[in-house]
Amino acid sequence: MSIKISGVGKRFGDFVALSDIDLDIPSGQLTALLGPSGGGKSTLLRIIAGLELSDAGTVEIEGTDATDLPAQKRNVGFVFQHYAAFRHMSVAANVGFGLKIRKRPKKEIAGKVDELLSLVHLSQFADRLPSQLSGGQRQRMALARALAIEPTVLLLDEPFGALDAKVRKELRAWLRRLHDEMHVTTVFVTHDQEEALEVADQIVVINNGRIEQVGTPDELYDRPSSEFVMSFLGPITMLDGRLVRPHDIEVVAVPFPDARAGRISRSSRVGFEVRLEVNLIDTPQAPPVLVTLTRAEATAKRLDQGAAVWIKPVEADWSCHGR
């Protein structure tokens, strides 16, 4: 186990940020700490980095007890949401900072900086100031700076949170490829479930200062242990008193066995996807059931607004039965 967290707790005044966290983060993997804002995931990451001290519990990094080790002695690479670029230093000086502090020879620093800048595709910007870079470029610089010290673990705190949607998607795909090349144990915090599902080997869902569930993206998506995990990882709707994913509902314009009759009260198209709201005939007061399907399917089945339909969950054992 690369990072072993046992019994960690943290309070800010009356607010309990983390309570009694036990977590093992395996070596060489890309782990996501996923959860809503204020759930404690960033606090946990900062405790691992030594930027925050826990009130209770221990943190072990690669077999050594790091609980009382100050940040500068943990050899941890940390990437901040808002880049934390050293504004008065060139891009190259930013990346070389950790090595300069370690008093490495100038030649070695220059070589390492060149290598990392080409890794993050910033070689031609080496002499610029961070203010002359875009947000995505600044974050790649911050990543190169963190990697320069050859960290035992790489920690990223909402690394793409301040970037626009398109850059964010590009960067997370790039982070995944980078991790596959480098194999450094990486933990990143995100509140974006899509980001976690796409990039991570393992996801830790954190809410209200507690760990809700730990597992691979498939395990969490298909076998959520609680309503919270199910609702946080993707869209949900209520059918037959159960939570179901809207794309796991079969919808046909003719009656079929065990299906419930309803009427499409609303239909909206978002790109390739069609989202239907279906009011059931026998429970007209209940909120409508959400159903999503591809546009081709909706067109083929003539599922227009106002049409009568019959619906049924496709894979009953995939749904969540509550706590």
List residues binding another protein (CB under 8 A): 49-51, 70-78, 80, 82-88, 97-98, 101-102, 129, 131, 142, 145-146, 148-149
Backbone phi and psi for residue 16, each to the nearest 5 degrees, phi listed first: -90, 110
Report how far residue 167's alpha carbon sits from residue 123's, in angstroms, rounded to the nearest whole number: 19
CB of 29 to another protein, least distance (A): 21
Report CA-CA distances (Å) from 102 to 39, 141, 143, 266. Answer: 36, 19, 18, 63
CB 318, min distance to another protein, A = 42
Residue with smaller CB distance to another protein, 31 or 152: 152
**Nearer residue to another protein within complex by CB, 137 or 213:** 137
Q: What count of other Cβ atoms lies within 10 Å of the Cβ of residue 243? A: 16
Q: How far is the CB of 54 from another protein (least distance, A)?
A: 17
Contact between 323 and 227 under an 8 Å Cβ cutoff? The reply is yes
Nearer to another protein, 97 or 174 (CB): 97
Whole-number minimum distance, CB 86 to another protein, in Å?
6
Residue with smaller CB distance to another protein, 128 or 247: 128
Question: Closest approach of Cβ 253 to another protein, in Å?
Answer: 56
User: Hey, which residues does 210 pair with through a beta bridge?
Assistant: 207
Distances (CA, A) of 199 to 33, 155, 202, 209: 12, 14, 9, 23
C-beta of 95 vs 309, nearer to another protein: 95
**Residue (148 or 229) nearer to another protein, CB:** 148
* Structure-token pair, residue 17: 């940020």
- Beta bridge pairs of residue 290: 277
Minimal distance, residue 91 CB to another protein, in Å: 13
Q: Which of 62, 123, 68 is nearest to 91 (CA)?
A: 123
Cα separation, 279 vs 224, whole angstroms: 27
Q: Which is nearer to another protein, 150 or 315 (CB)?
A: 150
Q: Phi/psi of residue 11, each to 5°?
A: -120, 145
Q: Name residue, tokens 């595709």.
A: 121
| CB of 166 vs another protein, minimal distance in Å | 24
Sign of CA dihedral 237, 243, 247, 251: negative
